[in-house]
Structure 1
Amino acid sequence: MRTFIASIKIFLLIAYTLSLYLIYLVVYAFLWLFKLPYEPLRNLYMYSWSQGMCAFLNIKVKTIGEPPKAPFFLVSNHLSYVDIIPLYLNLKCTFVAKKEVRSWPLLGFMVKTMGVIFIDRSRKRDVTRVNEILSKSLNKYQGIILFPEGTTSAGEDVLSFRPSLLDYPASEEIPVYYSTIQYRTAEEKGDLPANESVCFFGARDPFHKHVLNLAKTRRIDCTIRFCNKPVQCSDRKELAQKLHSGMSGIFEPTS
């Protein structure tokens, strides 16, 4: 029965996402044609989409601290593709994502039209290109979110950072905010622990199987914590260390 209900959830998620996106795409094309800013539309779309995901998957998001206002530069720990939901609910933003996402069928095109910045982590020279894009992407409509761990995890602790993408905020001495994300599930009602059903890392399960387990979950409690004060430093390695220390201070492990 839970598998059947989960399948219905997934169907509704896909239908809702595509229906909402088609509306977005029509307006996006109009804005692109007349060279008007699309970010306010994207912010509205992703906020509405995130609310729908919370309703379908019974995700309860608790926010601790004050989310920064655009423009901003923010780093966060990374546990799952689900992370974008609490972030979009709280922030007007875009993300830095790995290049492989762009090649995903359909989803890659959708993500591209959302203004996501792609990086090829296998090429050190690509960091320079991305840093130039970052310098042009901060505006009154959006901030930039980076996952400096460079990968997802089970949420046991904050992984070590890759400081290369912090070169731009360091060189310009831009204050960098940080946040942490934590998940819990209704294990007392038979749900799998969040580190198995929500966190998506390594090669434990194929994507479709993980989505099914996620949809089977009866309730997901997400807590997102924002720092009280941003970090500012002209050296990217020192900046990475300070951010890691700050995130570790407000971090709570996922079950």
Structure 2
Amino acid sequence: MLRTIRVAGKIALIASYTAPMMLAQSVALRTGWWSDRRLPQLWHRMTLKIMRIRVRANGSAARGQPVLLASNHVSWTDILVLGSITGVHFVAKSEVRNWPVMGQFARLQRSVFVERERKRASSEQAKEIATRLSDGDPMVLFAEGTTGDGNRVLPFKSTLFGAAKLAMNETGKSVLVQPVAIAYVARRGLKLNRSERTEVAWIGDADFVPHLLEILKRGHIDVEVVFGEPIEFSSDGDRKEIARLAERQVRAMLSTTLRREK
């Protein structure tokens, strides 16, 4: 009973600042009076604190030129984790658009929604991402195309990496693809083993609300984010090769982090 009251209190607290921040974000988008990345970053940080998820960053996102952050994907909480570190925009699956609260916030954060199962739409979606990169928006691509169990990296889908090359063609500038590894390493100060890490992960088509409630009940999760060495997409670059290089870096960074945390 006490745990239920605590969860309800956390939900009420999150709701208390979410609505006014959404309104303020709408004003930012309409007027441009302040950066549309500031409020989402603050919201992510506040919400992680309430959920008792602690983030440690190793390195930082590249700056000074268009950058596509290519990350592994473990849970919906990855969005909060990366969004709390730096001001970014996300490439999200189309279903996210209709999620309660998170979906609306994703729209206000100017996420690009893609339908990965629609092969014919891939080129149009890549063009939209390319336009955003050309405009200077750092974009996050969860390159596996789905969530994994947090212990390993699934093969990267190369199609949307083509957005980096399109952006380069549009701007005449070089574009960076920066690998990023997200590792869930501990709960309540105790290192997670493979099985426990799977419990933290939000895999496949698992229901969102039960997983959210479980995180709110238990919390106390430590996450490490490792930013890898940016890969420059040259004029003769191949998206499949860039995807392989990024995947290799992310796999190595995740493995190193999980071994170190044992």
> Is TM more than 0.5 here?
yes
Q: How far is 1:67 from its partner?
A: 2.2
The aligned counterpart of 2:239 is: 236
- Alignment of 1:245 with 2:239, yes or no, is no
- Within-5 A mapping of 1:97-136: 97-104=92-99, 107-136=102-131
Q: How far is 1:142 from its partner?
A: 2.4
SS of 1:222 mapped into structure 2:
strand
Q: 1:47 aligns with which of 41, 46, 68?
A: 41
Q: 2:201 aligns with which of 196, 199, 202?
A: 199
Equivalences, count: 244
- Alignment of 1:224 with 2:225, yes or no, is yes
The aligned counterpart of 1:185 is: 187
Instruction: Give the partner amino acid of 2:175.
Output: I
**Does the 8 Å CA contact 1:78/1:147 hold for their aligned counterparts?**
yes
% identical aligned pairs: 28
Instruction: Give the partner amino acid of 1:68.
Output: A
Deviations, residues 145-174 of structure 1 (Å, cap 9, x unaligned)? 101100011111010111111112246463
Instruction: Give the partner amino acid of 2:63.
Output: K
In the aligned structure 2, how far is the partner of 1:188 from the partner of 1:113?
36
In the aligned structure 2, how far is the partner of 1:63 from the partner of 1:109?
27
**TM-score, normalized by length of structure 1?**
0.85
In the aligned structure 2, how far is the partner of 1:236 from the partner of 1:228?
17
Instruction: Give the partner amino acid of 1:110.
Output: F
Residues 49 and 141 (structure 1 numbering): CA distance in 2 closer, same or farther, change over 3 Å? farther
The aligned counterpart of 1:210 is: 211
**TM-score, normalized by length of structure 2?**
0.83
Residues 69 and 5 (structure 1 numbering): CA distance in 2 closer, same or farther, change over 3 Å? same
Deviations, residues 25-84 of structure 1 (Å, cap 9, x unaligned)? 23433x1xxxx4x7x532111111012112211222111123222631110011111112
Instruction: Give the partner amino acid of 2:139.
Output: I
Structure 1, gaps ≥5 residues long: none
Residues 115 and 240 (structure 1 numbering): CA distance in 2 closer, same or farther, change over 3 Å? same
**Does the 8 Å CA contact 2:75/2:202 hold for their aligned counterparts?**
yes
Q: How far is 1:188 from its partner?
A: 5.3
In the aligned structure 2, how far is the partner of 1:58 from the partner of 1:104?
22
- Greater shift after overlay, 163-172 or 41-50? 163-172
SS of 2:113 mapped into structure 1:
strand
Instruction: Give the partner amino acid of 2:201.
Output: C
